[in-house]
Each structure stands twice: as structure tokens, then as C-alpha cells.
Amino acid sequence: MAKEAVSSGYKNAGECGGEIRIADDAVAYIAGIAALEVEGVASIVGNITNDVITKVGRRALSRGVTVEVEDSVVSVSLALIMDYGYNIPVTGKKVKERVKNSIEGMTGLEVADVSIRIAGIDTSKQG
């Protein structure tokens, strides 16, 4: 069973009471999609098997992202393959901002940090 994080911003929200729980895998999936939306990111490298998770294989996105949630504060780690020719620091900063904004906007959780490891460069698009 997936470990669940509770967003305190959504507890007892609305007239019907109760709470909304957000699974870590859901947060990881949001982070993975957000990272792949940034131009220059070729794929995400999976944690356990080092499988490359491309933009086509989105079902496995959460495997390439590590999420830790404590008291509704999120820390995210991603290992990425970059496309050749892109400025790594600039693209990395865009990924961090996109991931942070996506998670905060969709979940209400606070993102404390986004760590990125560039695991390789994809040269397949080079002629």
C-alpha cells in the first residue's frame, strides 16, 4: 500500500468535512510529468532498475521520482537524462520551478526543495 501524505490545507475543507489524502505516488507522478514538460528533458531515470522512463512511458513516472512528505512539506528528487545541446543549469532551474509550481498548485502542499541529478545526455536527436 502506498504511503500517504496529508495536505493540511485540505483537511476538513468544504461543508462536508473529512479530509483529502494525497499518496506520495500521486505527488511523484505530478513531479515526473512536470519535469518532462520542460524543453531539454529527454527522460527520467528510474530509481530501482535505472530504466529510462520516456515521455511515452508515463505509467511508470513515479518510479523515477523520490518524494518525502513530512507535515505537509514535500522534498522531491529526480534523476534526468537531458537532450544534448541544452544548458544544464538553466534547464535544471526550469525543471525545479516547474515541479515546485505543479505540486503546490495541484496539491496545496508546500515544496521545500527539488533536487535534480543529471544522469546522462541523450544524443539520439543529433544528425
Is residue 62 in some structural domain? yes
Please report whether residue 7 resides in a domain.
Answer: no
Q: What is the pTM of this model?
A: 0.78
pLDDT of residue 125: 79
Domain that holds residue 104: 24-121
Looking up residue 47, the CATH number of its domain turns out to be 3.30.70.1350
Please list the rounded mean pLDDT of every run of 10 residues in the chain (127 residues).
46 64 90 95 70 50 80 93 97 98 96 96 83
Q: Is residue 96 part of a domain?
A: yes
Tell me the helices (H) and strands (E) count for the chain, helix number first.
2, 7
Residue 76's SS3 state is strand
Dihedral sign for Cα 19, 62, 121, 117, please: positive
Number of domains the chain is built from:
1
Q: What is the reported pLDDT for 16?
A: 74
Task: Please indicate, yes or no, if residue 4 is contained in any of the structural domains.
Answer: no
